Amino acid sequence: MSVLVVGSIALDTVKTPMAEHADLLGGSASYAALGASFFSPVNLVGVVGDDFPKEHVELFRDRRIDLDGLQTVPGKTFRWSGEYMWDLNTRETRSVELNVFEHFTPTLPGGYSETPVFLLANIGPNLQNHVLDQAAKPKFIIADTMDLWINIALDELLRLLKRVDMLILNDGEARQLTKETSLIKAAAKIRGFGPKYVVIKKGEHGALLFGDGKFFSCGAYPLEDIHDPTGAGDTFAGGLAGWLAAQNGQAINFDALRKAVVYGSILASFNVEAFSLERLRTLTQNDIAGRYEDFRLMQQFEIIE
């Protein structure tokens, strides 16, 4: 099965305490699509300007990502610039230029509406709803969001939540959305808004999965050095969605979602090892299998082989 990924495609300028790089490939859809592409075919929906470097299009093609849904329009590509503080846990946005993204209307080409798994990566909930309006009957719909939309588009976001199977968000956003300090209570409240499943990402503390009266706690891979946290959450969502889509004909239940969360965490852990999408460019199935084994060992406390 394939996964449809819609979101932003950007050129990022990223500064960390160690280095600064300009005009990197970025955006929620870029990270999510590449993450998913390690497991399943991907239909990408997004927009770029006519300044978008050909090498980035080539990277998508190399990863066998379908680009029928990629609009190229006159003007400049969406640009984002941000700076990470010394602990790499907090970041400041330095500038945002919407450019061609300002008038983006995500339109699904021919066969895309039949895609079984939809990943609505982080963009405005109005656009996420617009994509769902064009969907046939997806088997599983995942949405990501961010603090900005909770602040300025809450009604639209709540309308979206009634239509999706899973919401992915970070701990701060979960608290902001629900006004609950306890993540356990926050997840229960979010499930009350609609999604059957909720994933709360906690950065260096891993991720929590809630649903079906069950709970799964996934640790974070113990990386000594993180080079660029940008896109970690998007790559997580992409890996999760791609792995789910690859389980042809299997039921999407809590036990399947446990593994999906692990594969999302694996992809994200690789992604932060280098700037932009550089690490995913060279990532192999062997790398993924090796880290899966590491996750198994770091989570288990019975029957250790």
Residues binding a copy of itself (CB under 8 A): 86-88, 181-185, 188, 202, 204-206, 208, 214-220, 222-226, 255, 258-259, 261-262, 295-302, 304
Q: Which is nearer to a copy of itself, 104 or 216 (CB)?
A: 216
Q: How far is CA 218 from CA 7, 27, 61, 130, in A?
A: 26, 25, 32, 32
Q: Which is nearer to a copy of itself, 19 or 298 (CB)?
A: 298
CB of 226 to a copy of itself, least distance (A): 8
Q: Which is nearer to a copy of itself, 155 or 302 (CB)?
A: 302
- Helix, strand, coil shares of the chain, percent, nearest 5, are 40, 25, 35
Among 38, 57, 62, 58, residue whose Cα is nearest residue 242: 38
CB of 83 to a copy of itself, least distance (A): 16
Q: Which is nearer to a copy of itself, 64 or 205 (CB)?
A: 205
Query: What's the CA gap between 129 and 27, in Å, rounded?
Result: 19
C-beta separation of 243 from 289 below 8 A: no
Query: What phi and psi, each to the nearest 5 degrees, are found at residue 213?
Result: 65, 15
Dihedral sign computed on CA atoms, order 115, 117, 121, 126: positive
Query: What's the CA gap between 33 and 45, in Å, rounded?
Result: 10
CB of 90 to a copy of itself, least distance (A): 12
CB of 7 to a copy of itself, least distance (A): 26
Among 47, 27, 43, 32, residue whose Cα is nearest residue 106: 47
Query: What's the CA gap between 286 and 7, in Å, rounded?
Result: 28
CB of 240 to a copy of itself, least distance (A): 12
The single-letter code of the amino acid at 105 is: T
CB of 33 to a copy of itself, least distance (A): 24
CB of 262 to a copy of itself, least distance (A): 5
Q: Which is nearer to a copy of itself, 72 or 299 (CB)?
A: 299
Query: What's the CA gap between 105 and 71, in Å, rounded?
Result: 10
Q: Which is nearer to a copy of itself, 96 or 183 (CB)?
A: 183
Q: Which is nearer to a copy of itself, 112 or 216 (CB)?
A: 216
Q: Which is nearer to a copy of itself, 74 or 222 (CB)?
A: 222
Query: What phi and psi, each to the nearest 5 degrees, are found at residue 15?
Result: -120, 130
CB of 223 to a copy of itself, least distance (A): 7
- Helix, strand counts (H, E) of the chain: 11, 13
